Amino acid sequence: MWRKLFSSNLKSLSITTSHLRSASAAFRFVDTATPPSSSSFVARFLTTQSGGEIKKRVEDVVPIATGHEREEIQAELQGRNILEIDHPEGPFGTKEAPAVVRSYYDRRIVGCPGGEGEDEHDVVWFWLEKGKPHECPVCTQYFEVGLGMSRAKLTPGMAHNSVP
């Protein structure tokens, strides 16, 4: 739900950016007759960078975002993905060629939703450990841990969410 709301707000923010770019250069907030609260409110949405481009801020997208959600949105606005969690897509894991799940650590909790269409089942959660392929008890899909991610990419905020 938040991702849909966030992405739609980002799209509308980028559309209004082009319209406000020319308007923001024309505004000068020197008028002392207006109350400070209204001028700061307008200035908040019309602040510009040196290149004349509107600054995108977390407050403009989701004003009440805090903690990890705020970090994710801030990184998204900067064009980064702090989690690097693009849900793995690939062929059905077999005993000969198991589905590889990337991880920073030697073990990880994995959820198996099954195959496509009729082969789909409720998500079954299990621990996956390095060197031990695991078979889903419902759909017989095989998984194994692949240490394809570098620990150097860990951010300090991720340490509490990680598996030891």
What DSSP string runs through the chain? -HHHHHHHHHHHHHHHHHHHHHHHHH-----SSS-HHHHHHHHHHS-B-TTSPBPP-HHHH-TT--HHHHHHHHHHHTT--SS-------SPP-SSSPEEEE-SSSEEEEEEEESSGGGEEEEEEEEEETTB-EE-TTT--EEEEE--S-GGG--GGGGGGS--
Tell me if 19 is assigned to a ligand binding site. no
Token look-up 């005993």 returns: 95
Tell me if 134 is assigned to a ligand binding site. no
Q: Specify whether the CB–CB gap between 39 and 31 falls below 8 A.
A: yes
Tell me if 112 is assigned to a ligand binding site. yes
d(CA 60, CA 134): 44
Which residues define the annotated binding site for Zn(2+)?
112, 121, 136, 139
Which residues define the annotated binding site?
112, 121, 136, 139
